[in-house]
Chain A
């Protein structure tokens, strides 16, 4: 009986927690399906209205920005390019960095790794001036390349891959060597397949990281052509229901990618077998 009471109590706490997180999102979604005059008069809504298609279609195709050069659809496209680019580039670089750190006889490899690692403590905001000036020198302002490259070296992913490689037994490398594999083949034939789940996990992680960038895209793009979704959240003008609809849609890509790949994500982050 006491067990029933304690477990109901903890469930109650969890339930309250879920409600606190879900209700505001639901209210925004419900409100985004009404007309704006309805929201202006009656406030936020808890139940669905009937303007769903009308509102969402309008938001997707509406020409926004000061110069009316960008639609929400284009922003989604830009964000997708940026997030995918960041994900792929940072996974590739950290895979290779970790490989070099673990398998090559580099003097002070550990020290080098910690130097890489402390860059976690240096946020983009802190180095934004020099980074911007480098990008400007290279003529990369207002380009996808400029959006992607400066945030595509991930110390966290390097850490994950390094720790994983360290658990790979030495005999595997030795055996592969005797089987005629050179360093490149060992990387491609062994380490990449063995860290498959971790690669997927890091891809998701870095995709969401890239997608969520706000300050950097804001700085490095002056042309509305390169606006991303997260920037758009701030820049989007229009009525309140349209903004709500845009907020709802902006949540879809990261959620979708996590739902589709969550099996790998959990396996990869919490050590796979």
Chain B
């Protein structure tokens, strides 16, 4: 049995909404697990069930070999960082950090020692006497993490902790969280809707949609080998291009071009997925793109345009290529990196 085990966990709210469907998942000790998915997909609910803030309708949750379904959140020894930090507004930073320890009846000197160590680790030693209202967003974020670290819990839970920060600070804090987790080595679950955050932080990633884990794996596995239409569309930026197509006798015919000898026995209506970065310009290739707009990011250009039948399409090329608006490009799929999904079920078929 692994460190944290979820077995057929289901959450149905009193009004009948099913937020999480029979989800099973194990997290190993010291692992950084990320739940990613669109808002309302059930990822926060799943996290809150681990924390004990939501009742479990069905299924079991085991933490460190102990069934915790009925254990009170205060007894679970988990720490959580909330989206809006939930710092205690009437206590200074020191007491914010010390509160959880005081409730556990730890003696004063040990508390002081632990708080000071945590403060040092997070570089907030100078603000210990300040109230949360006198801190900046990044500092509050650090205090919230300090409050989690100082208790040395079995598991860290992060509920979209970076979404209240501005873009630059978010990237910085993302790095710091990752470094800190590696340093402290505590098992962590991080919930986010931002796929870049998810990819960069995770040891393993669970892509959740409609209360179901669509795919579980390392970030690269999921990026390289998405198992469903949803995962393919959700992971990767800019989004994967999808084209309608049809397979007959191992030949896929899509809008204006055909791919022969595909590696699939599937027959019928499909969606063809091609990542913008898996394309290159080559004469007389399959895909003809009429350029509408070029976004220059410096290192890369994102080229947006339309195919023959007015279908929107995106192509990512190196930043040193100059592409004019209105140009006609002929694009080749690199190394046959394309994905085919059953149109009706969304399942991958190649």
Give A contacts to B, CB under 8 Å: 169, 171-172, 174-182, 185, 189-190, 193-194
Q: In the complex, which of the residues A174, A175, A185 has the most CB atoms of chain B within 10 Å of its own CB atom?
A: A175
Q: Is the CB of A180 within 8 A of B53?
A: no
Which residues of chain B are within 8 angstroms of A179 by Cβ–Cβ distance?
74, 99-100, 103, 147, 151
Q: In the complex, which of the residues B76, B84, B90 has the most CB atoms of chain A within 10 Å of its own CB atom?
A: B90
Q: Is the CB of A174 within 8 A of B104?
A: no
Give B contacts to A, CB under 8 Å: 51-53, 72-76, 78-80, 82-84, 86, 88-90, 99-100, 103-104, 147, 151
Which residues of chain A are within 8 angstroms of B90 by Cβ–Cβ distance?
190, 193-194
Q: Is the CB of B82 within 8 A of A175?
A: yes
Closest chain-B Cβ to A113's Cβ sits at a distance in Å of 21
Residue A180 contacts which of B83, B86, B100 (CB distance < 8 angstroms)? B100
Residue A174 contacts which of B53, B72, B103 (CB distance < 8 angstroms)? B53
Which residues of chain A are within 8 angstroms of B103 by Cβ–Cβ distance?
179-181, 185
The secondary-structure label for the interface of chain A is: helix
Q: Is the CB of B86 within 8 A of A169?
A: yes
Which residues of chain B are within 8 angstroms of A185 by Cβ–Cβ distance?
103
Query: How far is it, in angstroms, between the C-alpha of A180 and the C-alpha of B52 when the chains are bound?
Result: 12
Q: Is the CB of A178 within 8 A of B74?
A: yes
Query: How far is it, in angstroms, between the C-alpha of A194 and the C-alpha of B89 when the chains are bound?
Result: 8
Closest chain-B Cβ to A18's Cβ sits at a distance in Å of 38
Q: Is the CB of B86 within 8 A of A182?
A: no
Query: How far is it, in angstroms, between the C-alpha of A178 and the C-alpha of B103 when the chains are bound?
Result: 10
Query: Which residue of B is nearest A185, CB measured?
Result: B103
Offer 6 A-B interface pairs, CB within 8 angstroms, sorted by A.
A171-B84, A176-B99, A180-B74, A180-B103, A180-B104, A181-B74
Given the known inter-chain contacts A177-B73, A179-B103, please indicate yes or no for A190 contacting B88, CB distance below 8 A: yes
Closest chain-B Cβ to A19's Cβ sits at a distance in Å of 44
Given the known inter-chain contacts A169-B86, A172-B88, A190-B88, please indicate yes or no for A178 contacting B99, CB distance below 8 A: no
Query: How far is it, in angstroms, between the C-alpha of A169 and the C-alpha of B82 when the chains are bound?
Result: 12
Query: How far is it, in angstroms, between the C-alpha of A176 and the C-alpha of B87 when the chains are bound?
Result: 9
Query: How far is it, in angstroms, between the C-alpha of A84 and the C-alpha of B147 when the chains are bound?
Result: 40
